[in-house]
Amino acid sequence: MDGHIIKGHSTPETHIEPEEPRREPPETHIETPETHYPPRASMGVLEAIYTRRSIRKFLDTPIEYDKVMEVVRAGSFAPCAGNLQNWKFIVETDRERIRSMYHHTLEQEAFTSAPAAIIVVAEMEVAEQYYGMRGKRLYAVQNCAAAVQNMLLAAHSLGLGAVWIGAFDENRINDLYKVPSTARTQAIVLLGYPDERPQPRHMKHLWYLVNFQRYGLKYARPHLITHDLSTEWEQKRAQLEGASERATRKLGLRGGGDLGGKGRRLVGKTVGQAQSRAKRLLASLKKRPAKRR
């Protein structure tokens, strides 16, 4: 039964009859988001990136046809080597067929509730024709990965949940969807309205992930590489505040009590020293490149 995809905001009962095959648009057809999809108020890109999670449990609610196609369109707008666009997106909305994939995907539960799936196929031969082995082994795979990421973000910004499925029996999926031997199924994206709300996941700190200028090279003050002195000033300000607080505590004067002449002189000296240290440091930073650690 293929009644799980509905057009626009029509009722879930709406059943779409298969359309007459349409003539292919000319290959030079140019579509841009501006002309076909005028900007609308939705989630910003960074917000979508930071709040997206994989969704593996879906509500029974059908997905609007327009939304599924917008997700696919977002995929097709991904960057791709040489603008080859050597991919195919097979849209599957038959729940029985999606459920049947459960057996070819290490019995992943997500297949039992997803109302839609997009099978992402790379046309390997096309990539090879243009870029040889690198095209076949690398670009074709990377193109599809970029498309999948676009689709996940688009789905999330449209209020849908999605998950990237990479663990599947490729031969079985290829058979099911008649994928030719010149192509390879790269991923399956499951789509639907979320029936779970995963917590934010544990993320490695950027410190462990980022190197500057060469592999393995870390800087104690990476902001200086971009000559961002405002960050340096901010850190110095925090240091000064800390120094002043420590001096106040040393005198046993908490909560902003009167320091007295001696106390004020002591704090003034500490702050003064820190200030001149900061000034000297900044002056030297302007002259010499950032120190490696």
Ligand X SMILES: Cc1cc2nc3c(=O)[nH]c(=O)nc-3n(C[C@H](O)[C@H](O)[C@H](O)COP(=O)(O)O)c2cc1C
Q: Give the residues lining the site for ligand X (CB under 6 A).
A: 53-54, 56, 108, 163-167, 198, 201
Q: Which amino acid is at 172?
A: R
With residues binned 3-state (H G I as helix, E B as strand, rest as coil), the percentages for the chain, rounded to 5, are: 50, 10, 40
Tokens of 184: 């390879």
Give the Cα separation of 62 and 4 in Å (integer). 5
Q: Could you tell me the smallest distance in angstroms from the CB atom of residue 55 to ligand X? A: 8
Q: Could you tell me the smallest distance in angstroms from the CB atom of residue 101 to ligand X? A: 11
Q: Could you tell me the smallest distance in angstroms from the CB atom of residue 47 to ligand X? A: 14
Q: Could you tell me the smallest distance in angstroms from the CB atom of residue 120 to ligand X? A: 11
Nearer to ligand X, 124 or 240 (CB): 124
Give the Cα separation of 5 and 14 in Å (integer). 8
For residues 67 and 160, is the Cβ–Cβ distance under 8 A? yes
Nearer to ligand X, 166 or 180 (CB): 166
Q: Could you tell me the smallest distance in angstroms from the CB atom of residue 166 to ligand X? A: 3
Nearer to ligand X, 11 or 199 (CB): 199
Specify which residues 162 forms β-bridges with. Answer: 54, 191
Nearer to ligand X, 201 or 214 (CB): 201
Nearer to ligand X, 53 or 221 (CB): 53
Nearer to ligand X, 198 or 268 (CB): 198
For residues 148 and 75, is the Cβ–Cβ distance under 8 A? yes
Give the Cα separation of 35 and 165 in Å (integer). 32
Q: Could you tell me the smallest distance in angstroms from the CB atom of residue 171 to ligand X? A: 16
Give the Cα separation of 101 and 85 in Å (integer). 26
Q: Which residue is nearest to ligand X (CB)?
A: 166
For residues 162 and 191, is the Cβ–Cβ distance under 8 A? yes
Give the H/E segment covering residue 61: none
